Amino acid sequence: MQSFEIDKNDILKVKNAILAGDEALLKVLEEYHASEIAILFERLSMGEQQYIINLLPSDLASEVISEMDEESHPEDLLFQLHPDKRTEIVEELDYDDATDIISYLEDHEQDEILKDLSDEDASNIRALLTYDEKTAGGLMNTDLICVNVNFTKKDAIDEIIRQSEEMEEFYTIYVVDDVERFMGIVSLKDIIKAKHNAKIIDLVKVDAVYVSPETDQEEVAYLISQYNLTSIPVIDRNHKLLGRVTFDDVIDVMEEESTEDILKISGVSEDEELSGNWVEAVKSRLPWLIINLATAFLASSVVRYFDPTIKLIPSLAAYMTIIAGMGGNAATQALAVTVRRISLYDLTDKQAYNTVLKELTVGFINGAVNGLIVFAFAFFFDDNPMLGLVIFCAMTGNLVIAGVTGAGIPLILKRVGIDPAIASSIIITTFTDVFGFLLILGLASKLLL
């Protein structure tokens, strides 16, 4: 199945169907999956969105709203619906999806939605709202299937059938004792294949991986990926089973975290919406550009200091941009790899040291190879082997600095409690510009004048 992309013909088709009436609109919407309708909503007005949601059956409407991007503000669409329709949709949503959407509303708006729900649904959603959205508690769904460790095979199957009536799908059976403490997991396959007189206590896997509700979402994603899990149980400090985080939620987390890291490394605030207007973009980016401007003045002051050297050897001005540019690119490469490693693993001191050593070695080799290329260029086109030697040394030295700073600075920032993706790019750019200019101009002043 190919990915769906918004086409102007799709938008026009839906808009014309809205004008043609309910029957025509329903016929057109049958051509699209719920996730595709959610994408179409990005190009429709709030009024058009409401019209479509009100027309769709509540189960399909809930799918559409749950698939809407955060930047499309599904919470606003949900809140503006008629209370009866709104309640039907929330009741169709999984608790974790309902909580995610409702959490973006004001407290009084949340209360208005929750008061119309059943006591059980409202209680479950209120409990999930107490957790930070970027933790296992904020991701988990309290809908799960669990059986008592003392059950027989027949008891377990009967209980699974009873509990699964309200669930769309499940992958793992959780096992608890008489006081609801988590004992482990058992697969449905093992229960079905077991002998008729088998007991769950003999089938349970007691060394199951689990997380606490406070576990960061990145750690949850890492564990599910590492152990190839379809879901992971969430356990409180008393070892009681609270809920589960499923792999589909983790896919969203991985996308969110990757986007966040890319924006931070680029000097863009994570608060900037990808579909936001130019005012939001300016507010998000301008502070970082001003900081970058300040560091650029530092690099320019180095150039000003060596102004007499540049006047005597004008060709240095052309090579300076090459040295600085190559250093910046090399540092960005090292930074991207290191930030990704930090986000996936909790690096030990030895691993951190080896990471820096590796990038130093890579920087030296890449610097020497590129330095030789520029040396040959200076030798043949400028007819100046000493100039080529200066550029070779400057290129090699700056790429070594790029590798060390690109790997070392994010590790240092992480150690002192600062998000390494936020400030690393600006710091390493300053290092490679300043030291790149110092190396080429300083060496030129000593060796060529």
70, burial (CB in 10 Å: exposed 0-12, middle 13-18, buried 19+): middle
Domain ranges in the chain with CATH number 1.25.60.10 = 8-130
Residue 138's SS3 state is helix
pLDDT of residue 62: 95
Beta bridge partners of 199: 152
Distance CA 341, CA 326 (A): 23
For domain 146-246, is the CATH number 3.40.640.10? no
pTM for the model stands at 0.62
Backbone angles phi and psi of 148, in degrees to 5:
-75, 140
- CATH fold, domain 8-130, is MgtE N-terminal fold (1.25.60)
Domain ranges in the chain with CATH number 3.10.580.10 = 146-246
Q: Which two tokens stand for residue 127?
A: 């409990």
- CATH fold, domain 278-447, is Tetracycline Repressor; domain 2 (1.10.357)
Task: Please list the pLDDT of the chain residue by residue as tens digits (449 residues).
Answer: 445 567 788 889 999 999 999 999 999 999 999 999 999 998 899 999 999 999 999 999 999 999 998 888 999 999 999 999 999 999 999 898 999 999 999 999 999 999 999 999 999 999 999 999 889 999 998 889 999 999 999 999 999 999 988 777 787 899 999 998 999 999 989 999 999 889 999 999 999 999 999 998 888 988 988 888 889 999 999 999 999 998 888 877 777 766 666 666 555 555 555 555 677 777 767 877 788 788 888 889 999 999 999 999 999 999 999 999 999 899 988 988 888 788 666 678 888 889 999 999 999 999 999 999 999 998 888 888 999 999 999 999 999 999 999 999 989 888 887 777 666 677 888 889 999 999 999 999 999 97
pLDDT of residue 262: 62
Domain ranges in the chain with CATH number 1.10.357.20 = 278-447
pLDDT of residue 1: 41
Residue type, 44: L
Q: Which two tokens stand for residue 266?
A: 């680029």
